[in-house]
Amino acid sequence: MSTVEAGYDPTFLGPRVPLPVPAQTVRTLPSTHFTVLLDPERRLAAATAVNIDGAQLVDLERGDDWHLDPRVPADEQAGPELYARNDLDRGHLVRRRDPVWGDLVVARRANLDTFAYPNAAPQASAFNQGELLWVGLEDHVLEYARTNDSRLSVFTGPVLADDDPVYRGVGIPRLFWKVAAWAGPDLRATAFVLDQTPFVTSLQAAADEVPPLGPFRTFQVPVADVEDLTGLDLGPLTGADVLAPVGARGERERWVPLAALEEIRL
């Protein structure tokens, strides 16, 4: 892997946008066009960051080559045992297609890299497979960004809350967040939260108890609220927010519920 292709590039958009800085200790795992910040205590990513070049995207078959990351001890990443015999999906945090750009060799490597378990998070199958609004957010913002530039950097992760219910030894996140950033010419950013509550309403101590699944909703939120939820330092992204929040920081009344991509404020 060359240094050009190794990991998220903070200068990709022009204005420098560094990796999020977590409050907790993480393992930094650079991959092709993206980086995962793995929380070894929670065995899930605290954040991911990917560079997307919309002009060079390559259409490859999906595959399903999920694998443990050999750079990380197996007991520090949530592996296949979490997803066996239940209705949980291995949800990509960095979307499979986002880093798949450049020449064919690089694109194929990026495609495979997205199937490492540190880039997965336990998600209700209906959330991961059926929610077109959530999975369409990046395409919608990328299309908007094309008016000035075809490049986008996207930051995604679960909200690793202290009170997340534990299932098979892993705390199951109830919220997921995403921040998309582009430059045209100034840095711009917007944030979203997907709320799976009540994704888990109760859990029994039995090892094979499957979490009951509930409804989920998508919101456009102030970038600052993502910082408050996660404890991450998002650097210049907070000041580049296109959403003009109304109300006190951290109050969910500031969140804008979304029912369609056309309702996103850019």
β-strand 166-167 against 27-31: which pairing, if any? unpaired
124 or 241: which leads in pLDDT: 241
Q: In what order do the strands lie in the sheet with 44-53?
A: 27-31, 34-39, 44-53, 151-158, 175-183, 187-195, 217-221, 256-258
Question: In the structure encoding, which two tokens stand for residue 73, read together?
Answer: 């001890």
Return the pLDDT at 207: 44
Contact 77/117 with Cβ under 8 angstroms? Answer: yes
Count of Cβ atoms closer than 10 Å to residue 97 Cβ:
20
Amino acid 50 reads V
Helix, strand, coil % over all residues of the chain, rounded to 5: 25, 30, 50
Q: Tell me: the pLDDT tens digits for 40-82? A: 999 999 999 999 998 899 989 887 899 999 999 999 999 999 9
CA distance 170 to 148: 42
Q: Tell me: the pLDDT tens digits for 165-224? A: 888 999 999 899 999 999 988 999 999 998 876 555 433 333 445 444 445 688 999 999
CA distance 256 to 262: 13
105 or 185: which leads in pLDDT: 105
Contact 49/20 with Cβ under 8 angstroms? Answer: yes
State CA 93 to chain mean position distance: 4
Least confident of 45-49, 115-119, 145-149, 209-213: 209-213
Q: Is 100 exposed, middle or buried (0-12, 13-18, 19+ CB in 10 A)?
A: buried
Structural Rg of the chain based on CA atoms: 17
Contact 168/122 with Cβ under 8 angstroms? Answer: no
Question: In the structure encoding, which two tokens stand for residue 126, read together?
Answer: 């209906």
Contact 160/45 with Cβ under 8 angstroms? Answer: no
Q: Is the pTM of this model over 0.95?
A: no
